[in-house]
Chain A
Amino acid sequence: MSAGAKKRIMKEYGECMAETPPGMKINFDERNMTKWEVLMDGPDGSVYAGGHFKLEIVFPNEYPFKPPVVSFRTKIYHPNVSNDDKGSMCLGLLRPDEWKPPNKVVAVLRLIQSLMVEPNIDDAIEPSIANEYKENRKEFEKNAKDWVKRYAK
């Protein structure tokens, strides 16, 4: 990893520390600054409220010219998060072709929070959950809350 990338990550970490968006906590390891661990609370008013989700943000060597990789380490019932052991998330500004080098990690964290409030159905990674969200909102909410209880407490 280049010196520029390290400098950038440190800078962003400083900003995140100075002004952490509400409802999240960032664990940062000086020795491995390319991997951030984020603890995110389920936003109030969403089906995930009350849950605590562990996320991982991995910065590629080419950062900031390639997007960071975001994954849920805590299982979550969400149309935009892959329902497997990876829990990966790839949409919006996280896509390699939409990523812009001046984007900030804070913007990524805010995007995740807003997606927890309102999933992006058109860009779903789990079509069945997206379908359920569209067709049968009640069932979706029940499943989501169920998963929160099972995995995110």
Chain B
Amino acid sequence: MSESESIYGTTLSQESMKVIAESIGVGNLPDEAAKDLAEDVSYRLKEIIQDAAKFMRHGKRQKMSMHDIDHALKIKNIEPTYGFFAKDHVPFRFASGGGRELHFVEEKEIDLNEMVSMSGSQTWPKLPLEITLRAHWLCIDGVQPTIPENPPPVSKDAQKLESVDPTSKLSNKGQSMGVGKPGGGGKSKKLRNVETVHVKQLATHELSVEQQLYYKEITEACVGSDEARRAEALQSLSADPGLHEMLARMCTFIAEGVRVNVVQNNLALLIYLMRMVKALLDNPSLYLEKYLHELIPSIATCIVSRQLCMRPEMDNHWALRDFASRLMAQICKNFNTSTNNVQTRVTRMFSQALTKNNQTHLASLYGAIDGLSELGPEVVKALVIPKIKSISERIEACIEGPGLSSVDKNGAGHIKTLLVKSVAPVLKTMRPPPDIVEEYKLDYGYIGPTLCAAVAKARTQPMALTTNVVSATTLTTNQQQGSSNVGKTMMQTTENISVTGGSPGQQQTGRTIMLGTSRGTGGSTTTGGQKFVILQSRSQTPTTPTTNPNPLQQSQQQHQQQIKFAQGSTGQQKQHISNSAPKLVVVCMATNNHTNTTTISQAKSQNVFSTQQSIERSLSPMEEHSFQ
């Protein structure tokens, strides 16, 4: 009944009538008059709106516009309300006070003088673009080509549904009939009619020849040496709508690739693979949840693996860790649900590494901190800050302690920089203003003074960094979790990863990255400039496709690339590191080594790897934090 009441006979309130009467100078409108007026005005309004709906429909729209009302008034021989134009809907603002509640339309006053004086500046409204006509094939002989002009064959919602309920794909064959696959439609229907035995249908993942070709081209381009082709391939991965069917294979390719190249310490290829992940994540028509079990371990490997490159003291594997951390954060943000708990599990994995501070390799430690700090200030607050003291003891030992390798010093230096960068903004909101060096030193040990300086600096520049506090990341894991379930949780996420160990090529089964014990060992045997064969689970091709057939050429290329790396670097030195070898910067990121400047000069001093085009967000502080 209440529903029908809301439909039938809704009228404007008497109060509205009185307010309107007041506004045109009629005070003390009698109740009776207001009631009658309200009823009549409501009736007229409804009638006008009904007429306006006709204009809306003939205008082939589903939203009513101001003009429709004007036209409706016009056919009723009423003067239209000239001068009211709104591009879209006009939001009502609400205000209350003095016992009155009011809804109103906000109209900003525009200062014409200001408008005129600003002539030529960017504040001028842009001219509307010329209307253009663009033709494309919506369908060719009954098959819809998967081009960006067409909607993706399987919508993201459908992909999502499928990942939740795989049977949905089997049951509603009829619905998908219209979408048409090459060779589908009539042919398969006929076949089904002939079949008399009821066989449970399998969800097929056939790839057409074109798709197989595309897969081959894309994977080759992504890990090949031609940077222009790679950029094109990544662009295609991040924009093309028809990749849904190939997604499973792409993800397997990435997972396998990471597995092999981590063992081989091939930094460049790992970076390429992560860029592929990034591209897939960015593709608006793909829903990756079904493949996270392959992607997350791969990414985690790139974040926390003990060794990612052949010369840890030279190569900038830190950048890869940063990049992968951001990917991980993006995945957590996009796919975390109450049932899969991606973020919880990822957070737990990283925080385990922190708890075992003293056994974890420095590089892994860096990765863990990096991964956590990308997850947002709340995570930093709960999981990183309490650990700072123990971490800083360790890096103090590495940096100040005598007789340690440059690798360790370098690593410790990076951890320090990272900590300052990620923790300072959080500390700023946590600690009350007077920043006293002694207190910091007490709370955070060795790194205290540096942090203090950073926080003080952050306070002086008010805006930019505070914006990131908005996103309150849910945090469910407990940092103090007993070590008993380490193995278990790790297994869930890193099962597939075989990590560099003492002996390369050994397939580790139960081992996880974090638990790498021996920290002094020199890692795997050097693999020279060798190119790696990426094993793929493509059964139809008997020969394992090598990305590049000629090994000699490969090694050359590899060298060339490495030389390129060196050229790209600007050879900055760290304050506390005696090692003055030029750093190889691979991914465009902050290599700001001045420990006391956290943010400002980053844009200037970023080193750009020759492959920078697409990955890589330039690290202005704003952008970086937008990840969280």
Real complex partners, A and B?
no
